[in-house]
A and B are shown apart, each in its own frame.
Chain A
C-alpha cells in the first residue's frame, strides 16, 4: 500500500472513529436486549464526542490533500467537520426525548445518523468530483431513510418517497454535468479543473458547454441546500419527517451542501484575484447565476412562509429563506463573504435547532404542530414561550441576538464588494420575515387560548433548550473568539 496513505491516516481519525461507532451501534442494537436503547445512545454520543475531540488538534496541521487528492485537509474542511459533528451530536441528544420516535427502536436511527454524518464530513472536504458525488449520495440516501423512519406513518413514507425521487433526479442531472466538466478538463479533481480552465487557449472558450455543466451541477448542489427552484421537496419532507430528523436536515446536510458549494465554485471554477478576492473565468461566469439563485431563494422562502399555519412548514420556508442569505455570502467572492457564511452557519445552528427543539417539546405535550394550538401558550408554559420568542427574534436578526451578527456579516460583505443593492434586497427580505416570525410570537404570547392547563417541559428538553439558548443570547460576549475562529477557517487548499 502507498506509504503516504498510512502516514496520513492519523489526520483521518474523526472519520475512522465515526465509521467504527457506526458499526458498533449496528452490532450493539442486535446484541443487547433490553439495554440496547441506553447502550446505542451512549455509544453514539461517545463516538461523536470523540470524533469532535479528535478534529480539534488537526487545526494546526498544514493544509493539503489526502488519499490521492480525494479529500482536502484545510481550515475550511476542519471547521465544517467540527460544525457538522456538533450538529449531529445535538440532534442525537434530542432524539430520545421525542415522542414521535419513541415507538420505534432508536438503534437504527443512530446508525443512520452516524452514516450520514460520515457522508457529510467527507462531502465538506471533497476535492474530487467522484468523492463529491459519492458522499453527496451517501448523505442523501441516509436522509431518505431517516425521513421515512416512521414506518407506519403515511406522511413519513410519502415524504420519504418524494424526497428520494426529487433527490435521485437532481443528483442524476448533477452527474451528467460532472461528466461534461470531465470531458472538457480531462479530470475530476477540482484543482486540475481550475488549472485546465485557467489555461484555456482563448478566453471564453467552451463557454456554452461549461454553462450547461455548471447549471446541471448546481441542480444537485441546490437540491442539497434547498435553493429555489430545487426546493420542491423541502416543505413536504420537513412536514412529513419526524421532527428531530427535520431539525437535523434543516441544519446539517444544508451546511454540508454549502461547504461543498463553496469548495466547488472557489477551488474549481474561480481563481485567486487581487487581495482576498476571487475572480471567475471568462469561460464560465457563475457569479450572476448564483446571485439570482440567492435572491430568488430568499424572496420565495420569505413570501411562502407568510401564509403557513403549520410550524414545521413555516420553519421549512424560513430555512429556505436563510439559505438565500447564506448564498449571498458565498457569491460575493471575497474572504469576507466566506467568513460571513461561516458566521451565519454558526448562529443558524443554534437558533434554528433551538426553535425545532421547542416545536418537538410542544408536540410531546400537546400532540400538535398547528399554529392555532400555540395560542395563549405563554400562560401554559412561560419558559417555552419566552425561549421560542428568543429564537424567533434571533432568526429575524434583531440585535444583540446571534442571528443579527450573521446577517450583519453577510450584508457587510456584499456592501464591501460594491454590491449595496444586493444587501438592500437582503435587508428588505429580512423585513418581510419579521412579519411571520412575529405572528408566531403574537400567537404564543398575546392571543388567548381555550386551553389553559400548564405545560411542564421535561428536564432533558429544558437542558437542551438552554444549551441552544445560551449561545443564541450570549454569542456576542465571545465575539472575539467567533471572529478569530471564522476568520482563521476561511482557508481553502488551492493546490501546491
Chain B
C-alpha cells in the first residue's frame, strides 16, 4: 500500500535535486528552477502530512500560500533578470561580478 513514506522519499529527492541545481548552475533562470523544485518538494510534504498525519486541511491551505509566494517571487526575479539582461546582455551569474565578495 502507498503510504506517507513513499511521498516523503519523493519529496526528499526533489529537495536534494533542487539544492543540487542551485549549487551547480550559474544561470539565473536555472537557479530559479532549482528554487521551484525546493518549493514543490515542501508543498508535497505539506499535502502528504495533511492527508496522513494531521487529518485536516491546514497543510493544504499552507501549500496554497506557498504557491502564491512562489509565483510572486518568480515574477520579481524575472523582472530583475530582464532588467539586468538589458544592461549586461547576459544572465550568467559569473558575469555579474562588479561586486566582488
Contacts and interface: CB of A to CB of B under 8 A. Distances in A.
Given A144-B80, A158-B84, A179-B45, A165 B53 contact: no
B10 interface: no
A169 B39 CA distance: 9
Nearest to A152: B87
A24 B85 CA distance: 33
A378 to B, nearest CB: 31
Given A158-B98, A164-B76, A137 B69 contact: yes
16 contacts: A130-B65, A133-B69, A145-B76, A148-B80, A155-B98, A162-B99, A164-B80, A165-B35, A169-B35, A169-B38, A172-B35, A175-B42, A176-B38, A176-B45, A179-B59, A186-B54
A482 interface: no
Interface in A152-206: 152, 154-155, 157-162, 164-165, 168-169, 172-173, 175-176, 178-180, 182-183, 186-188
B18 A172 contact: yes
Contact of B65 (A134, A158, A176, A180): A134
Query: Which of A148, A152, A168 counts the most chain B CB atoms within 10 A?
Result: A168
A261 to B, nearest CB: 20
A204 B10 CA distance: 27
Interface of B: 15, 18-19, 22, 28, 31-32, 34-35, 38-39, 41-42, 45-46, 49, 53-54, 58-59, 61-62, 65-66, 69, 72-73, 76-77, 80-81, 83-84, 87-88, 93, 96, 98-99, 101
A141 interface: yes
B49 A183 contact: yes
Q: Is the interface of B mostly helix, strand, loop or mixed?
A: helix
Instruction: For the complex of A and B, list the 4 residue pairs with the smallest distance between their C-beta atoms, beginning with the closest.
Output: A172-B38, A179-B45, A236-B99, A175-B42
B99 A158 contact: yes
Contacts of B32: 165, 168
B54 to A, nearest CB: 5
A168 to B, nearest CB: 5
Nearest to A232: B101
Contacts of A180: 45
A426 interface: no
A144 B28 CA distance: 15
Given A158-B98, A161-B28, A179-B42, A169 B80 contact: no
A239 B97 CA distance: 13
Interface of A: 129-130, 133-134, 137, 141, 144-145, 148, 151-152, 154-155, 157-162, 164-165, 168-169, 172-173, 175-176, 178-180, 182-183, 186-188, 232, 235-236, 239-240
B65 to A, nearest CB: 6
Nearest to A180: B45
Given A145-B76, A179-B42, A188-B62, A239 B54 contact: no
A158 B94 CA distance: 11
A178 B53 CA distance: 15
A172 B42 contact: yes
A168 B28 CA distance: 12
Contacts of A162: 93, 96, 99
A137 B93 CA distance: 23
Contacts of B18: 172
A151 B65 contact: no
B58 A188 contact: yes
B80 A134 contact: no
Contact of B101 (A133, A164, A188, A236): A236
A240 B99 contact: yes
B15 to A, nearest CB: 6
A182 B99 contact: no
Nearest to A186: B54
Nearest to A154: B87
Contact of B81 (A161, A169, A186, A239): A161
A158 B39 CA distance: 24
Query: Which of B42, B45, B54, B73 counts the most chain A CB atoms within 10 A?
Result: B42
B54 A157 contact: no
B62 A144 contact: no
Query: Which of A141, A164, A240 counts the most chain B CB atoms within 10 A?
Result: A164
Query: Which of A144, A182, A239 counts the most chain B CB atoms within 10 A?
Result: A182
A274 B18 CA distance: 44
Nearest to B68: A134
A404 B65 CA distance: 43
A239 B100 CA distance: 10
Given A151-B83, A236-B101, 13 more contacts: A129-B62, A134-B65, A155-B99, A161-B77, A161-B84, A168-B32, A168-B35, A168-B77, A176-B45, A178-B42, A179-B42, A187-B54, A187-B58
A141 B28 CA distance: 17
Contact of B39 (A145, A175, A186): A175
A134 to B, nearest CB: 6
